[in-house]
Chains A and B, each alone.
Chain A
């Protein structure tokens, strides 16, 4: 393909991305070195915002909360997504219906799903699960206002919302596993567990990597789920990095755009570090192909 053709075909998209993604991003990086109010130009303050971020214990807590949530959710998604995908893939006539049902949590907007989820656990709103759990175990658990129970609820909600996507991608990947290979392994006397661990999982490792990638990207940026599920996130230490940015940069009373931007930049650095292996993979393959 000639350079001019490339410019004609890819140009409009690149222009939109430069204008609406790169330029705003540059503005955010500028802001991170400034003290700034909405609508007026800021004044340069050097690294003050970064210093403030690192000296704020809330920021440290938010980072730890977010990273732990990401690791747990990603691990659960890979394992549960795989098991579920294998079960669904073994179905015949029922497969499309089961897939359709299982996809429901994924197509609901996250904030709406999290609102629904909160009604299962919030005793103020007649939470049915919190009620049943208390009836069965006798334990009075404060799902919405105690740190760890609330973390369980938040993790469950994020897993609930993302599991269908993980399953869907893995089901799609399983379509590419050849039947001959499975049959050969069976003839060699492999047990079911062995078959999965040594034959199927390695042959769809690219797909599992993709699931991990998407999960890391999305869970690191958790925000929507916390709005209904953790109304006291700040007090109980369940603030995600994104919620922290929102609270310092946009909430009434805390319009510190410079600090919020500095944390944005730090979050981007964290994400790039987490994605480094994937970025190397893309670069290598594109150059080869």
Chain B
């Protein structure tokens, strides 16, 4: 990322914007010959092995939760069994999993929207205002991105208790929006910095105000960048455990908090936690498949150019 290291951008490289970004690059011709085929075979085999290794915890969990409860966690582990969905049924019937799941989704979606709503204008302003304020804000953003969660979340616990919003979704959303802000600004600012300022000036000569420039010119151009930042923010909010652990109790825990509280319990409850993990994981696997294309496009277009 040029912003971080001060490395110079390679000259003459066109800035890909909007739709161009999503177009595949022209493919290089494949080298012919049998050596190349053998190499491709080896690379393919290696990648297959890596994929299998990376997925093995998920695959094993999928087996554990579809086993009958009596053999789910016995040692030595059982590899053949009659599949059973009891863990899922129990999860649904004996816990409030539905409300934990909806808490998680609501918190993630709402906090992402607010973080973008605040972050996009701020990042735009920072990219167009080269002065000591920008420097201070960006360095602060970097440090706050790295801040240990407890340093802000424990005081928030205290504050949310005195405000009477402890254990509500509002408290968690507010905390996540704030914690998310520095990274979003930092990421988005790099996308904005790639858009030439002459564009702003031309639009303003045509009578646009700054706010109009932002919404009518920049935001449409920034499609992939905003999407990339949005995906990162959503993932962050969706995954966050510590903030939700400290700021919620019985009324609005998220799925990660629920799963963690099941850990020290009995084996049937542990298997329920596994079932909950799978229910949480399956949609995000679909999400990963959709998101990867935008992430690679968005990231290579803006934020992390070397």
Contact = CB atoms under 8 A, between A and B. Distances in A.
B150 A249 contact: yes
A178 B305 CA distance: 12
A44 interface: no
Interface stretch (B70-78, B86-94, B95-103): B70-78
A265 B178 CA distance: 19
Contacts, number: 355
B217 interface: no
Contacts of A23: 155
Interface residues of A, number: 115
Contacts of B138: 282-283, 286
A6 B129 contact: yes
A279 interface: yes
B191 interface: no
B152 A14 contact: no
Given A24-B159, A131-B76, A279 B238 contact: no
A107 to B, nearest CB: 4
Interface in B136-175: 137-140, 142-159, 161-162, 174-175
A288 B7 CA distance: 12
Given A10-B122, A131-B76, A112 B6 contact: no
B250 interface: no
A59 interface: no
A120 B306 CA distance: 38
A188 interface: no
Interface string B239-270: 11110001000000001100110011001001
A176 interface: yes
Interface string A11-23: 0111011011101
Interface residues of B, number: 119
Interface of B: 1-7, 10, 13, 25, 27-28, 30, 43-44, 46-47, 50-51, 54-58, 60-61, 64, 72-78, 118-119, 121-122, 124-126, 128-130, 132-135, 137-140, 142-159, 161-162, 174-175, 177-179, 181-182, 185, 193, 210-211, 214, 235, 238-242, 246, 255-256, 259-260, 263-264, 267, 270, 273-274, 277, 280-281, 284-285, 287-289, 291-293, 295-296, 299-300, 304-306
25 contacts: A9-B124, A12-B118, A20-B174, A21-B182, A104-B285, A105-B57, A107-B291, A110-B239, A115-B263, A116-B274, A125-B267, A125-B270, A127-B75, A128-B77, A171-B300, A173-B304, A173-B306, A178-B13, A207-B1, A209-B4, A220-B146, A221-B149, A260-B150, A275-B146, A284-B6
